[in-house]
Amino acid sequence: MASIVSFLQPPFTLAHTIPTGPIVRVAPNWYSISDPTAAKLIYGHGSKYQKSEWYDAWNPMDDLSLTNLFSVRSSTKHAEDRKKVASLYSMTSLVAYEPFVDNCIEIFKQRLDEFATKGQLIDMGHWLQCYAFDVIGKITFGERFGFLDAGNDVGNMIDFLDGSFTACSYFGLYVWLFPMFMKLSKYLGMDQAYVASFSFRHIQEAKATMKNYHVDLPSHMTMKVVQAQAQNPEKISDYDILVTASSNVGAGSDTTAISLSSVLYHLLHTPASMKRLREEIKLSGITGNPTFKETQAMPYLQVVIKEALRVHPATGFPLFRVVPQGGEVLAGQFFPEGTNVGVNSWVSHYDTNIYGPDAATFRPERWLEADEQQSKLMEQNFMAFGIGSRTCIGKNISFLEMNKLIPVLVRDFDFELSQDNKVDGWTARTRCSLTVKESSSSKTIVILICAMDNRQCYNTRTVVFGVKRK
């Protein structure tokens, strides 16, 4: 699951700033730990730590036997389920998805040009989410949801995710209330009807297409799963197809939009990094939308993305696990079996023992300057998409979306921060804004870049910066 709200992020993060040691008790039998060795023990490959009952609240249905890759608690069951669809998210599969991303990038650029001409105020965090939603719709179903066209919350999907993610964070703590919540969700504005009907319609269309065509089938993900079911119906069920499609929708927008916002925001606050990235893109000689392979030949682009994910990871709380039978010593303290323990990426990513004394600073060069030992330590503790066997299965798709869009924005637009509206640093409720200028008409719009809240923006203060269309 790529996207999780940071509902519990501030208290967990702040607790670790108090000099009490690497262990913080956040609730009875619940502990947040800041220790590299502990992270490897808890999340590493072969770990015996299972997910806690908190994840039951993230099940797609009130029947706890019907899980998805994020909510399933058993490592064995997770491995079985992941194996069914792993090839769909592999690096080799990305090539087939690139035309879908290119289509959305072109529409996104057209919308920005329209806004510049009209001098219209828009929320860039919202538009980055529109981009991410439409890309995941195209990759999953071969059809965009229409966010980039409509510019609004199609099917109430954004509000649905916002409400359900927050609710799941709560009900994970009171999981016995989860079945009741599922029954009441449609009355609370968290009805899955639109997502479910959209998914079901495209699954049926894919199955019908399979019956009528035997070559040149569409390359979107739902079609690939339907093909896999046709080849091995005992292995892939209808539920597997539905949960794969719906999980993509739920997980495939927030994290990517947040990460894109983080990249753009920190580049604007670090002009030297923006200049270096722009020079790298220019030297590549690429004039259209870059291929994913071409972006991998841009080393500075890669560390810019990684650093933006480090300083603002989308997951804002410890991904709790249960201490296995016999208990274990973590960070010098013995924890009995059944204890809930976890490492918060917001804490780990700011650990000066791992990322250096300037860990709180956005500085992509740290990834290029590190020696082999330091580089290995940083990579081992980079948790933006999780670590170990439960690493987010959609990581490669998120990287595909970011790698292809960022060079286009940086190459085709000039950005300039407004001196009287600068803000140093993000908070969980910060938003900022962006001015876009069309060089031919000198018309100006302001675009809100937001989103560091992991979901909806909160209008507390803004940062204005200018963008001139090249």
Alpha helices in 312-458 (DSSP H): 345-348, 352-355, 365-369, 372-380, 395-412
Instruction: Please report which helix (H) or strand (E) contains residue 181, including its range.
Output: helix 178-184
Measure the CA angle with vertex 271, ends 266 and 273; round to 5°: 70
C-alpha to C-alpha distance for 21 and 415, rounded to whole angstroms: 42
C-alpha to C-alpha distance for 51 and 43, rounded to whole angstroms: 10
Hey, how many other C-beta atoms are within 10 angstroms of the C-beta on 101?
Answer: 23
* Both structure tokens of 135: 């890309």
What percent helix, strand, coil does the chain show, rounded to 5? 55, 10, 35
C-alpha to C-alpha distance for 238 and 243, rounded to whole angstroms: 9
What b/e sequence results for 139-174 when a residue is b if at least 16 CB atoms lie within 10 Å of its CB, and e otherwise? bbbbbbbebbeebebbbbbbebbbbbbebbbebbee
Reference 115, options 456, 433, 454, 452; nearest CA is 433
Side chain identity, residue 18: I
For residue 290, give the DSSP letter. P
Measure the CA angle with vertex 367, ends 330 and 129; round to 5°: 85
* Both structure tokens of 265: 């925001």
State the first-to-last Cα distance of the chain, in angstroms, to the nearest integer: 37
Determine if residue 168 is labeled as part of a ligand binding site: no
* Both structure tokens of 174: 């009171």
C-alpha to C-alpha distance for 255 and 31, rounded to whole angstroms: 25
Beta carbons within 8 Å of 109's beta carbon, 6+ residues apart: 408, 412
Distances 406 to 256, 290, 396, 437 between C-alpha atoms, Å: 12, 10, 15, 18
Strand locations in 300-370 (E): 321-322, 328-330, 333-335, 340-342
Binding residue ranges for heme: 392
Binding residue ranges: 392
